[in-house]
Every structure is written in C-alpha cells, then in structure tokens.
C-alpha cells in the first residue's frame, strides 16, 4: 500500500468512527523532497482536534501497534524511527490551513513550514536555521 492509499484508508476510518472531528493526515515524505542530505524518517502524521487526540490515538492503536500520541523527541528517536508504518497522533491547531485533496484533508505548504519551525519536538531531525 503506498503512502496516499494509507492516508486515505486511515482518514476514512477515522471519519467513519469520529464523523464530527476535523483532521489532517500527511506523511513525512512530503518534506523530505526539500532536504537533500537528511536521513529520511518515514512516518504518518494524523492531526485531529485537541479533544479527539486520545480517542483517535486509542482507536488507531487497536489496529497499528506503532501508533504514538504526541511523542517526545526520545520516543521518536528510539521507536518511531525504528518502526515500519509509524503513526503520530497530534493536536491540530484550530486555525491551521488545511485543504481538501480528494477524500482527505492535507496541510498547506504554509502549515508544513510553520510546523517544521515551531514543532521542534517532532521535527528535531531537520536542520532549521
């Protein structure tokens, strides 16, 4: 299953079980094309409303043991990077710019750039200057 199919599947499952929440689903590979000499760390980011982080995390954890809820840097280094099909569940900022892409919502480039700069726990491995 490729990255897009996986994102569609997970987004569809979440929307089916939690129809009223806003979510954004994207893959770390989206930013790797902008970095030439950085090791590729492969994980899926599922961002949901703050109140839905716990229920969505436990829901995804039932089917994917490599699901992590807002992990700290040490957890990302020790577990997320060393697992296949890792999923990180995080809180979605309420005014974050997301756009529809077929059946799923994805972040705009603006959101990705702000996240890379502001979320130093998740994106610590990227060289930010």
Please report, for the chain, the start and end positions of each structural domain, with discontinuous segments joined by +.
3-118
CA distance 47 to 17: 15
What pLDDT, on a 0 to 100 scale, did the predictor assign at position 26? 92
CA atoms within a 13 Å half-sphere pointing along the CA-CB vector of 31: 29
Confidence of residue 5 (pLDDT cuts 50, 70, 90): confident
- The mean pLDDT value for 12-41 works out to 84
Q: How many residues does the chain have?
A: 129
Contact between 56 and 14 under an 8 Å Cβ cutoff? The reply is yes
- Residues of the chain with pLDDT > 70: what percent? 95
What value does the mean pLDDT of the chain take?
Answer: 89
Q: Specify the pLDDT at position 123.
A: 84
Q: Count of CB atoms within 10 A of residue 95's CB?
A: 6
Residue 88 has pLDDT above 70, yes or no: yes
Q: Are 47 and 27 in contact (CB under 8 A)?
A: no
pLDDT in tens, 29-84: 887 777 766 666 789 999 999 999 999 999 999 999 999 999 998 999 888 988 88
On the CB side of 20, CA atoms within 13 Å amount to 4
Query: What whole-number distance in Å separates Cα of residue 60 and Cα of residue 42?
Result: 17
Is the CB of residue 43 less than 8 Å from the CB of residue 71?
no
């Amino acid at each position: 299953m490729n990255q897009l199919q996986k994102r569609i599947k997970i987004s569809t499952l979440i929307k089916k079980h939690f129809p009223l929440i806003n979510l954004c689903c994207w893959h770390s590979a989206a930013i790797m094309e902008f970095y030439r000499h950085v090791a590729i760390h492969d994980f899926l980011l599922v961002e949901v409303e703050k109140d839905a982080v716990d229920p969505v995390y436990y829901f995804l954890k039932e089917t994917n043991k490599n699901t992590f809820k807002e992990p700290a840097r040490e957890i990302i280094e020790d577990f997320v990077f060393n697992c296949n099909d890792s999923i990180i569940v995080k809180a979605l900022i309420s005014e974050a710019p997301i756009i529809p892409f077929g059946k799923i919502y994805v972040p705009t480039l603006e959101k990705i750039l702000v996240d890379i700069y502001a979320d130093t726990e998740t994106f610590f491995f990227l060289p930010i200057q």
